[in-house]
Amino acid sequence: ELQKQLTAASARAEQEAEAAAETKLNAASAAEEAFKAAQELAEAAGATAASLDQELAAVKLQAALAEEALKVAQESAVESVSKLSSDLAASQEELQKQLTAASARAEQEAEAAAETKLNAASAAEEAFKAAQELAEAAGATAASLDQELAAVKLQAALAEEALKVAQESA
């Protein structure tokens, strides 16, 4: 999006610069044509030097007006580029805020997943210890202890599966 905005801003600035140059060229050409027309008119009519000076003054006035119009067009182009730069800076700042917020959320979710995994492992270890103590206190046979161990392993597998689900959910 940023690249698109930069490309569009560059294209608009280039178009405005070309339009300003064309305006200046047209104004100079128009002034030259007007001056030539004034000269031809003065020669054809045998106009006096004073009359020719008046025509030249009018042409100079037209040229000055055209130059002023060019300045206004250039200032407008500069203002447009300045506004685009300002808008671009604001867009970059908003994008940075969004990236920072997303990074913080991802870090929190990773910490929560790690804590869930740690709690599940601790619970499985406690369950195994409790099963061992129960087997020793009751004088359980090796077969009974194997059954308890299998149950604890099943609990650990279930806890691990629950952890995977929690991680995927996170």
Which domain does 18 fall in, by range? 2-169
Residues belonging to the chain: 170
Are residues 117 and 167 in contact, defined by beta-carbon separation less than 8 angstroms? Answer: yes
Q: What is the pLDDT of residues 125-157, one digit of tens each?
A: 786 787 677 656 656 566 666 787 888 899 989
pLDDT at site 137: 62
Number of domains in the chain: 1
Are residues 98 and 134 in contact, defined by beta-carbon separation less than 8 angstroms? Answer: no
**pTM score:** 0.32
pLDDT at site 127: 67
Distance CA 79, CA 46 (A): 49
Q: What is the pLDDT of residues 5-37, one digit of tens each?
A: 999 999 999 999 999 899 999 988 988 998 898
Q: What is the pLDDT of residues 31-90, one digit of tens each?
A: 899 889 878 876 776 656 566 578 778 878 887 886 887 788 678 767 765 776 677 678
Distance CA 106, CA 96 (A): 15
